[in-house]
Amino acid sequence: MIKFDNVGVRYGVGEEILSDVSFYLDPGTFHFLTGPSGAGKTSLLKLMYLGHRPSRGMISLFGHDLSNLTRNELPEIRRRIGVVFQDFRLLDHLTAFENVALPLRIAGHDHGEYESDVAELLTWVGLGDRLHAKPSTLSGGEKQRVAIARAVIGKPDLLLADEPTGNVDPEIGTRIMRLFLELNRMGTCVVIATHDTQHLKRFPRQRLSLDRGRLSVLPPLEVVQSERESFSDEAEVPQ
């Protein structure tokens, strides 16, 4: 699915932001990407959503060695990836509905093909009454939900999310995590960059931990009994 082999990233002539990053993610797996601020999480995600070219090393996505793909072939790869950007990156002149529909529109689908799906998804994330609202009129949490809906509407094979629950209240955050888990159950490989230890414990999954540009793969965060009891409403914590 995703294979990084000794990947390094350097901006300009500075030090490497990521050094010798190597890992392999199977299809349909769920991972958290953790690490302190400045550790390189966003840079790693950028490499994964083809927003940046590595300075060295080899990246393979969906069985394609990226270095062998022509520029014209990259958009097809990008369409298989859903991204929730940390700063949302919603287009201010489009409505929530249009923002969510954008990936489908760019992929060449007609309005009639996706209108009910887009409305349904936005309604599910709690924005059924804000379909025609412009991002400037949405709260931070609402923008985030629109961004998430845009990332998942195209049924991506890989979902990348940078702090997707950072601006929403716990209830909405939990609902969003459940949406990601549902996607994951249906075969999407999910990678979520987060600082939220509550989510790491509530939804224990393998962690990709970055520290000063170096990556290590860690097992799910352990949950103590008292915490387990507080998550009693959740079925995700192994008993």
Of positions 6, 24, 113, 197, contacts other proteins by CB under 8 A: 113
Of positions 4, 30, 49, 203, contacts other proteins by CB under 8 A: 49
83 binds other proteins (CB under 8 A): yes
Compute the half-sphere exposure of residue 48: CA atoms within 13 Å on the CB side of its CA. Answer: 33
Could you tell me if 111 and 188 are in contact, meaning their C-beta atoms sit under 8 angstroms apart? no
- State the pairing for strand pair 206-211/30-34: parallel
166 binds other proteins (CB under 8 A): no
d(CA 130, CA 142): 9
- State the pairing for strand pair 2-10/16-25: antiparallel
236 binds other proteins (CB under 8 A): no
Taking the least distance from each CB to other proteins, the nearer of 111 and 218 is 111
170 binds other proteins (CB under 8 A): no
Of positions 15, 71, 136, 219, contacts other proteins by CB under 8 A: 71
* Binding region for other proteins (CB under 8 A) out of 12-20, 21-29, 105-113, 193-201: 105-113
158 binds other proteins (CB under 8 A): no
Taking the least distance from each CB to other proteins, the nearer of 126 and 166 is 126
Taking the least distance from each CB to other proteins, the nearer of 33 and 127 is 127
Taking the least distance from each CB to other proteins, the nearer of 102 and 195 is 102
The rounded Cα 113 to chain-centroid distance in angstroms is 25
How many chain residues interact with other proteins (CB under 8 A)?
59
**Window 8 to 47, contacts with other proteins (CB under 8 A):** none
Taking the least distance from each CB to other proteins, the nearer of 68 and 225 is 68
d(CA 7, CA 19): 6
d(CA 129, CA 119): 10
Of positions 29, 60, 86, 123, contacts other proteins by CB under 8 A: 123
For residue 221, give the DSSP letter: P
CB count within 10 Å of CB 14 equals 7
Q: What angle do CA 6, 184, 79 make, to 5 degrees?
A: 65
Strand boundaries in the chain, DSSP class E: 2-10, 16-25, 30-34, 56-61, 64-65, 81-84, 158-162, 189-193, 206-211, 214-218
d(CA 3, CA 158): 13
4 binds other proteins (CB under 8 A): no
Of positions 64, 79, 195, 228, contacts other proteins by CB under 8 A: 79
- Applying CB under 8 A, which residues contact other proteins? 49-53, 71-72, 74-76, 78-79, 83, 89, 91-95, 97-98, 101-107, 109, 111-121, 123-126, 128, 131-132, 150, 152-155, 175, 178-179, 182-183, 185-186
